[in-house]
Amino acid sequence: MKRPVVLGLETSCDETAAAVLDGDHRILGHVILSQDVHEVFGGVVPELAARAHLQKIDAVVDEALDQAGIGLDAVDVLGVTVGPGLIGALLVGVTWAKGVALALDRPLVGVHHMEAHLFAPSIEDPGAHPPFVALLVSGGHTLLLHVETWGRYTLLGRTRDDAAGEAFDKVAKLLGLPYPGGPEIESLATVGDPLRHELPRPMLRGNQRPGDDDYYDISFSGLKTAVVGLVEPLRVRGVLGVERAHVAAAFQEAVVDVLASKTMRAVEATGCRRVLLGGGVSANRRLRDEVAARLGSGGVVLHASQRLSLDNGAMVARAARFRYDRGEVAPPDLSAEASLPLPGLTTL
């Protein structure tokens, strides 16, 4: 049986991305266009993001198809992110995909953005399959899941305020670093001393036990406030410039410690032999190295993809293929939903 060729489209935030996937693992074309219009504002401006998607989406899809060496009529299935995300940005991708699906008489599959991040590592690593513990960390979401099988997810913990990526961006702005803040802090932290400044580890205490409300949950608002309290006196004293790298390192270490510790709690509780990291923040080398170090040599395997950690069309195509194989095709009135719940999600 011929494997369907799937075109995946991602426009949930500030990356316009398209990819062509042949089967489950063979990427034929892969294009990500990151918008630089937001840098001057220090964060994503929703209206500008939607406008940029509208301007670039045709060129991005054309380039992905050119890389694949096919025309649009060779696509068997279209997949598009329908949520969660910025509603204007999402609507650009959804409207484009609906129009093409109608014109070509092709099935269309709506994809949940975070489920797509779950599938991303499996494209390059077939061993990244359930059951596993998943830590999904992105600009807008932080989720800790027990994935028993594809399509069935148990929520263990989530952020109660700022997502990990959002915290990186806000602290970067405090330190006078460009947007997006994650790569900037990671780079600066390599020349800083993480022990020079002490920062708290919110919701991480030694006396927590399974069943406690905050045992798996995560919070970064208090950490951000602590960084404000650290930075302002340094600024007043005129020494922030020489201390900036040390503050970045201390902040990154605090975030990594919390995320790695919560993940290890999930590994111990579930007995899973695989851990998956997904989302843009999973590109952070310090986070990947720390989780790998804590897993040690006990036979628990870490799965993460540097290339596919950021928002991309390949992960959307892979998730669409999964849903399509289950017979889930979008109705004609498919629309975007900014706060779309993760399908198949249950809580403890």
37 is written with which tokens? 């219009």
Q: Is 137 helix (H, G, I), strand (E, B) or coil?
A: strand
Overall average pLDDT of the 98-105 stretch: 97
Per-residue model confidence (pLDDT) at position 298: 81
Q: Where are the domains of the chain?
A: 5-117+309-347, 130-303
Confidence of residue 96 (pLDDT cuts 50, 70, 90): very high
Give the mean pLDDT of the chain. 95
Q: Is 153 helix (H, G, I), strand (E, B) or coil?
A: strand
> Starting at the edge strand that comes first in sequence, how are the strands of the sheet with 152-158 ordered?
301-303, 274-278, 132-137, 142-149, 152-158, 345-347
Whole-number Cα distances in Å, 195 to 113, 216, 246? 36, 25, 8
Share of the chain above pLDDT 70, in %: 99
Backbone torsions φ then ψ of 267, nearest 5 degrees: -60, -45
Residue 300 has pLDDT above 80, yes or no: yes
Overall average pLDDT of the 278-305 stretch: 95
Per-residue model confidence (pLDDT) at position 1: 58
Residue 194 has pLDDT above 80, yes or no: yes
Longest dimension (CA), the chain: 70
Distance CA 266, CA 141 (A): 18
Q: Is 19 helix (H, G, I), strand (E, B) or coil?
A: strand
pLDDT in tens, 53-75: 999 999 999 999 999 999 999 99
pLDDT in tens, 133-170: 999 999 889 999 999 999 999 999 999 999 999 999 99
Confidence of residue 42 (pLDDT cuts 50, 70, 90): confident
Element (H, E) at 289: helix 285-295
CA nearest neighbour of 334 among 140, 86, 78, 150: 78
Share of the chain above pLDDT 90, in %: 93
Distance CA 316, CA 8 (A): 5
pTM across the whole model: 0.96
Confidence of residue 217 (pLDDT cuts 50, 70, 90): very high
Residue 221 has pLDDT above 80, yes or no: yes
Distance CA 335, CA 330 (A): 9
CATH fold match for the domains 5-117+309-347 and 130-303: yes
For 113-224, strand residue ranges (E) read 132-137, 142-149, 152-158
> What is the DSSP code string of 64-111?
HHHHHT--GGG--EEEEEEESS-HHHHHHHHHHHHHHHHHHT--EEEE
pLDDT in tens, 235-273: 999 999 999 999 999 999 999 999 999 999 999 999 999
Residue 195 has pLDDT above 70, yes or no: yes
What is the CATH T-level fold of the domain 5-117+309-347, as seen in this structure?
A: Nucleotidyltransferase; domain 5 (3.30.420)
> What is the DSSP code string of 221-273?
HHHHHHHHHHHHHHHHTT-HHHHHHHHHHHHHHHHHHHHHHHHHHHHHHH--S
Per-residue model confidence (pLDDT) at position 83: 98
CATH class of the 130-303 domain in this structure? alpha beta
